Amino acid sequence: MNEDALVVTPQQEHALTEWSGAADRGLRARTERGKIIGRVLEEGVHYGTIPGTQKPTLYKPGAEAVCDSLNLYPDYESVGNLEDFEKGVFFYRYRCRLKQRGSDAVVSTGIGSCNSMEERYRWRKAERTCPTCSKPAIIKGKAEYGGGFVCFKKKGGCGAKFKDADPAILEQPAGRVPNDDPYTLINTIDKMAQKRALVAAALNLGFSQQFTQDAEDLGAQAGTHDQPPPPPAEEHPPAARPPKSDGEAHHEKDETIISAAQIKRLWAKAYSATETKEQAQEVVGAAIGGYGYEKTSEIRTVHYDPICKAIEP
């Protein structure tokens, strides 16, 4: 046995005490974080799991709730931007510092950026307008009511009906078209950069084990932003196709209502795609309205995926 191994110098002893102290503090901090998640954060409102992702996503309201509970406030500093009014390209990057109220000590920092060439800002959804009343309320008629197109009253339309092949409808572009007006989005893009910086700073408080950054950033990592756009015209929502009529099984499936978990997921997508609760409600309302629904609890399984697609940025 080596006697020397048992000799602990005062310096080593000090270091060991420091380490175990640090370990204790780390453990306590972890317990505190667990408590915050349990007490302050509500699933579906502050965070949610988006299909295809492993970890729940921390939303902006969640980041704000974490800050409130720890008595922190965000302080934003611009760390780069680009504004090209000629080309319509806008880019903003911020550093968010989370500071302790009172002492103003910086507790955490995070960087976030946003630009107008991102998928969700680069394109806009072209809406067909009614040849009769000129309202952008044209939706695909339900197959059981004879298909075609309807100027949807619930979207403020006049109720006029049009045939499937009516050129007055079909010749109008629908679906994704390049956004010819990025200028009205400047404030949104700027705010989104701050939102991302805030969420990053909140995650850097030690929550990155439990949560991930916004799912939109996962999309960026997967390279979806670089994919060529689908052809802009003649893009019908999947529900526009008549349902398959090969047997009762399909018909039965058509009538199934989506589950509570699916409703939650749908809202999670909407929250992640927007800034405020009102915007999320607006996005969901528009998406489900296109399929003739007023409430998410009415959505049939067959329409779930296309509605999710419509909500996604």
Which residues of the shown chain bind Zn ion in the complex (CB under 5 A)?
130, 132-133, 151, 157-158, 160
What's the token pair of residue 199? 């969420």
Smallest separation, CB 158 to Zn ion (Å)? 3
Of the two residues 151 and 192, which places its CB atom closer to Zn ion in the complex? 151
The crossing angle, in degrees rounded to 10, of helices 301-311 and 277-289 is 130
According to DSSP, the β-strands at 138-140 and 149-151 are antiparallel
Smallest separation, CB 155 to Zn ion (Å)? 10
Candidates 219, 234, 238, 239; CA nearest to 313 is 219
Amino acid present at 126: A
Smallest separation, CB 124 to Zn ion (Å)? 21
Of the two residues 160 and 240, which places its CB atom closer to Zn ion in the complex? 160
- 10 Å CB burial of residue 8 (0-12, 13-18, 19+) is exposed
Is the separation of the CB atoms in 115 and 209 below 8 Å? no
Of the two residues 131 and 285, which places its CB atom closer to Zn ion in the complex? 131
Smallest separation, CB 161 to Zn ion (Å)? 10
Candidates 191, 212, 186, 205; CA nearest to 59 is 212
Q: Which helix (H) or strand (E) holds 178?
A: strand 175-178
Smallest separation, CB 160 to Zn ion (Å)? 5
Of the two residues 41 and 169, which places its CB atom closer to Zn ion in the complex? 169
Of the two residues 160 and 177, which places its CB atom closer to Zn ion in the complex? 160
Smallest separation, CB 234 to Zn ion (Å)? 22
Beta bridge partners of 106: 99
Of the two residues 42 and 166, which places its CB atom closer to Zn ion in the complex? 166
Output the CA–CA distances (angstroms, integers) from residue 11 to 16, 51, 82, in the order listed: 9, 52, 53
